[in-house]
Amino acid sequence: MKKRATLITLFILFLYTPTLTAQDFGENEEKWAKGWTNFSPNKTDYPEAEEKLPNIIANDTYLTNDVVYLMSGDVYVTQGASLTIEEGTVIRCDHKDPANLIVTKGARLIAVGSKAYPIVFTSNKAPKSRNSGDWGGISIAGSGKTNTVSGNGLIEGNYNPQFSVYGGDRHEEQTTVLRYVRIEYPGNTTKRQQGSNGLSLYGIGSGSIIDNIMVSYSGQDSFNFHGGINDAQNLISLKANDDDYQMAEGFKGNLNNVMAVRHPYITSPSGSYAIEVDGYDENMGYVDPNSVTDVTISNATLVNLSNKTNYQHTGAAVYSSNSALTYIHKSKISGFSDVVQFDKSYTSVALIQKRFMMDNSFFNIHGEGVRVAHQLIGKGALNILKYNRFTKDFVDTKDLFDDPENNLMPKFQLKQSMNNYMVMQ
């Protein structure tokens, strides 16, 4: 299907590209994802649980990899305790009384796996019977800054109020170290309608370490950042029902090596995005208009596995609201209707250009490219896509990339040279 004339007239064929090469687009991105990921978790036969975790962990606790643990109901890490998990440990998570792990403010979660022996949180159902949202998820409350009137907040989901507070002024605090961790089938909605995302990070500080994390088949968001400041890397979201990555409440940080793999038939009724950036929470208010959510995303691969028979079910890859600041660099976006959608807070082209930037990137879409709530803005908003390559016509995912649906390790290298695509100047 050809894109509309408005997009074509703004773009020209770029015959000489001194800066945009295959290497610039992270063609070796799968290397960091090899060895610890699992793109077919429903086929994995995990051992049965042997020991149940207590619902209150008030003392320093160490989980070893020679025991398989069951987590059932809400499990709180409290009173400044540290929950430390050894590499290779498997935690089976109850679907009947959906499990949630809540690390309260002042407590710590240290889950350091390795490439050879990742830590796995997964459904306690048998292989081939697991579903999105079998259990709840992991919520971590830090003491970092949030751009709210009170400077604090409560973890979403109606948890025990005394264990739900997050936020403060400890910008460099270390609430958690998460490395080489898989979180499979979280996001339950039967126990509570909100709050059970795969990994929810509330007000974490820059001392926390988040890298090599994979969230698969979440019934809600995969990753959720509420305030705080942190740089995370090597993150994968696989076929989430809701957003893959959501940032809000003044979160500031850099996300590097980010992958989101979506399917057009797996989505939330209210709309789902690979990236959702919310400048501030309208219900909680904000103190400083200059401290809205500000995120830089580099080396991202955002793919909806759509084709010409089902692409009509897709929306924009990125949703930006409440004057959020977003910069996307050296990334690939494919299979969505548009690159980005803006809410009503973006009232002019000039404001959009100040709040959103994307460069040295590639996109393959079937819509106009940019959606705006204020129709008076007109087509000028398309200028924010300058200096990014794109396909003249929408291309099916399987025809664009090498092996995007490989169940062992999908490959998102572009089949054609970058010089074969168009670029806006």
- Tens of each residue's pLDDT in the chain, 425 residues: 434 334 433 433 333 333 444 444 545 557 899 999 999 999 999 999 999 999 999 999 999 999 999 999 999 999 999 999 999 999 999 999 999 999 999 999 999 999 999 999 999 999 999 999 999 999 999 999 888 877 888 998 889 999 999 999 898 999 999 999 999 999 998 887 776 899 999 999 999 999 999 999 999 999 999 999 999 999 999 999 999 999 999 999 999 999 999 999 988 877 899 999 999 887 776 777 778 999 999 999 999 999 999 999 999 999 999 999 999 999 999 999 999 999 999 999 999 999 999 999 999 999 999 999 877 677 788 999 988 999 999 999 999 999 999 999 999 999 998 888 988 76
Contacts of 377 (CB under 8 A, 6+ apart): 346, 347, 348, 349, 352
Pair of tokens at residue 20: 């945009």
pLDDT at 282: 78
pLDDT at 425: 65
pLDDT at 28: 55
Q: How far apart are CA 321 and CA 373, in angstroms?
A: 10
pLDDT at 277: 97
Q: Which of 101, 72, 4, 28 is nearest to 301 (CA)?
A: 28
b (16+ CB within 10 A) / e for 186-208: bbbbebbeebbbbbbbbbbbbbb
Evaluate whether 7 touches 382 at the Cβ level (below 8 Å). yes
Q: How far apart are CA 241 and CA 267, in angstroms?
A: 5
Provide the CB-side half-sphere exposure for 153 (13 A, CA).
31
For the beta carbon of residue 16, count every other beta carbon within 10 angstroms. 5
Segments in 54-100 forming alpha helices (H): none
pLDDT at 2: 39
Q: Please tell me what DSSP assigns to residue 49.
A: P
pLDDT at 123: 98
| DSSP helix/strand/coil, 316 | strand
pLDDT at 271: 83
Quote the pTM value.
Answer: 0.93
67 backbone φψ class: left, alpha, beta (φ>0; ψ -120 to 50): beta
pLDDT at 12: 36
Tokens 């751009």 — which residue? 147
pLDDT at 118: 98
Residue ranges covered by each domain of the chain: 5-423
